[in-house]
């Protein structure tokens, strides 16, 4: 996972290179390699901004517009998170990427016994609309877009985001939000799931349908290959799984009688970038091509902008190490370089201290400055797709495309992604690969600098962003005060209406907005869904 395998001779010369995707790399490439793979300029590359968009979504690439920076931000109470939002925006960040704590992700209120010790630990604690009012105070909703990194109850958070924007005087038509909202990848690679597969996918479909009709600037889903890769998938599997997950969501909404042409242009993606730089660049270039061709060939999409592979390329969390943590600053710079050379629209980097803790302000600012250096000093905005035409990169891109398509076909033969997730097949494969990768680090088949090679030298201490128990106590106290001050009869009525809607299969989003406006809590709204849908029992993998 993440590191190419190198076969070396007794003089440390490289005899063979095999990327994690299974591609063997030759010592050199020339025109004959392109001829051998049947490379065609128009079909495989094309001009920048033209189908199949291998080179770029836009004719002038970063010359016309730099990539958006969205560092992952959020911790403790809404008050603390609001301060960090403003800090990052004041230092040049152009969008928000909101982190939620684990209880919020799992649909638990902060005073739930199961939330003890986790309130505000790995993200912002959110219990009700009151918390969003605090967290987003003075944030210009018409100028700053927000990624909401939450999945199982993303529908609740999107409804709450609309409710808070409207409370602050912004019409829902002007707000831009992108909930991650990819429950199938949670079941494969992360574990923050709540409901069984079918109703969980239905909720994703509800948000897509609702956003299409009511939230014209919102992207209702960000299909997340990132976490699948972090859990053990190869770069090929990362893209293949993400596209087959996207196919599942498209088919769910299309089954409601809605044309894919009306909503696929709002799909976004979140992809990982760490490991071998050339493999990552080829992965992104191949992915743009495959997505455009899939939409055109399988769904009849012809409008140019609706064929764009949009999203965030970044992170690289599994590439970071606790050993020699300052090496992570260097790793992050190369990950950012790979994302930029791969044509990222939006980028966020994991900060160098994230192997230990949520980022400190200093570490988060270093990551932001890394991206800005590439934009304004290093020259990544000079020309579109500067590696285009490279014998090596074009051959590798074509090979990555073939392998991704092969993996997508294999998933389809399993019965599709819903079946493969429900029976645990994909999870088992990814978990086994993670185990094999860890073994390869331990036996030095794969090299990790500072971990199993070049381990000598200093190991500086990292400043920790410590967990504050007082924040949790404050959050719980505020929750109790909010409950005491709201109209509880109104809340009960709104929750009753939500339950009826969930039972009858009608889109739940309008009722969720009403529940949020009445100050129903995350735990109460998610609790309704738990009662109606039940909870998913994860299949035994081994």
- Token readout for 363 is 């570490």
Count of residues in the chain: 542
Phi, psi of 288 (to 5 degrees): -60, -40
Which tens digits make up the pLDDT trace of 97-124? 898 999 999 999 999 999 999 999 889 9
* 385-402 average pLDDT score: 97
For the chain, what is the mean pLDDT?
Answer: 93
Quote the DSSP letter at residue 45: I
Quote the pTM value.
Answer: 0.94
Calpha distance 46→54 (Å, rounded): 7
SS3 label, residue 146: strand
Beta strands in 321-398 (DSSP E): 346-347
What is the phi-psi region of residue 278: left when phi exceeds 0, alpha when psi lies from -120 to 50, beta otherwise? alpha
- Token readout for 457 is 């030298």
Which tens digits make up the pLDDT trace of 13-67? 999 999 999 999 999 999 999 999 999 999 999 999 999 999 999 999 999 988 8
Which tens digits make up the pLDDT trace of 118-174? 999 889 999 999 999 999 999 999 999 999 999 999 999 999 999 999 999 999 999
Whole-number CA gyration radius for the chain: 23
- Fold of the domain built from segment(s) 5-442: TIM Barrel (3.20.20)
CA distances 393 to 36, 280, 374, 387, Å, are: 14, 11, 21, 7
Calpha distance 328→505 (Å, rounded): 47
Going from N- to C-terminal start, the domains of the chain cover 5-442
Calpha distance 317→242 (Å, rounded): 18
Which tens digits make up the pLDDT trace of 332-377? 999 999 999 999 988 888 888 888 877 788 888 899 899 999 999 9
Calpha distance 403→23 (Å, rounded): 9
């Amino acid at each position: 996972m993440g590191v190419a395998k190198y076969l070396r001779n007794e003089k440390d010369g490289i005899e063979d290179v095999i990327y994690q995707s299974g591609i063997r790399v030759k010592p050199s490439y020339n025109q004959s390699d392109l001829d051998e793979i049947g490379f065609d300029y128009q079909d495989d590359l094309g001009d920048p901004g033209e189908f199949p968009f291998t080179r770029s979504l836009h004719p002038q690439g970063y010359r016309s517009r730099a990539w958006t920076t969205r560092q992952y931000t959020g911790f403790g109470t809404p008050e603390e998170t609001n301060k960090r939002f403003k800090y990052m925006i004041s230092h040049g960040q152009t969008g928000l990427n909101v982190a939620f704590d684990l209880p919020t992700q799992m649909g638990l209120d902060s005073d739930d016994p199961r939330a003890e010790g986790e309130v505000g630990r790995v993200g912002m604690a959110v219990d009700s609309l009151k918390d969003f009012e605090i967290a987003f105070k003075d944030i210009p909703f018409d100028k700053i877009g927000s990624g909401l990194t939450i999945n199982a109850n993303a529908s609740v958070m999107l409804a709450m985001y609309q409710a808070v924007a409207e409370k602050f005087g912004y019409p829902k038509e002007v707000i831009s939000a992108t909930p991650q909202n990819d429950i199938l990848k949670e079941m494969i690679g992360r574990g923050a799931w709540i409901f069984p597969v079918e109703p969980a996918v239905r909720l994703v479909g509800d948000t897509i349908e609702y956003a299409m009709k009511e939230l014209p600037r919102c992207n209702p889903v960000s299909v997340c290959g990132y976490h699948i890769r972090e859990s053990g998938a190869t770069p090929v599997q990362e893209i293949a799984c993400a596209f087959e997950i996207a196919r599942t969501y498209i088919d769910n909404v299309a089954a409601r009688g809605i044309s894919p042409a009306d909503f696929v242009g709002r799909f976004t993606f979140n992809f990982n970038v760490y490991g071998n730089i050339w493999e990552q660049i080829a992965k992104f270039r191949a992915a743009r091509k495959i997505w455009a061709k899939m939409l055109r060939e399988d769904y009849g999409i012809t409008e140019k902008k609706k064929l764009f592979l949009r999203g965030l390329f970044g992170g690289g969390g599994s590439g970071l190490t606790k050993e020699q943590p300052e090496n992570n600053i260097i790793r992050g710079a190369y990950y950012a370089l790979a994302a930029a050379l791969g044509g990222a629209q939006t980028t966020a980097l994991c900060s160098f201290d994230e192997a230990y803790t949520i980022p400190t302000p200093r570490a988060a600012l270093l990551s932001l400055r890394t991206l800005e250096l590439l934009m304004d000093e290093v020259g990544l905005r000079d020309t579109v797709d500067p590696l285009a035409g490279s014998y090596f990169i074009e051959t590798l891109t074509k090979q990555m495309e073939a392998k991704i398509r092969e993996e997508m076909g294999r998933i389809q033969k399993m019965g599709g992604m819903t079946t493969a997730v429900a029976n645990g097949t994909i999870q088992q494969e990814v978990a086994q690969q993670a185990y094999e990768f860890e073994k390869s680090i331990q036996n030095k088949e794969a090299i990790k600098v500072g971990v199993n090679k070049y381990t000598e030298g200093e190991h500086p201490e990292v400043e920790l962003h410590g967990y504050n128990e007082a924040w949790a106590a404050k959050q719980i106290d505020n929750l109790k005060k909010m409950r005491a001050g709201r109209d509880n009869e109104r809340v009960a009525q709104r929750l009753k209406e939500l339950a009826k809607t969930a039972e009858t299969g009608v889109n739940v989003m309008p009722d969720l907005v009403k529940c949020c406006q009445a100050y129903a809590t995350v735990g109460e709204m998610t609790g309704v869904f738990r009662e109606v849908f039940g909870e998913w029992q994860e299949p035994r993998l081994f």
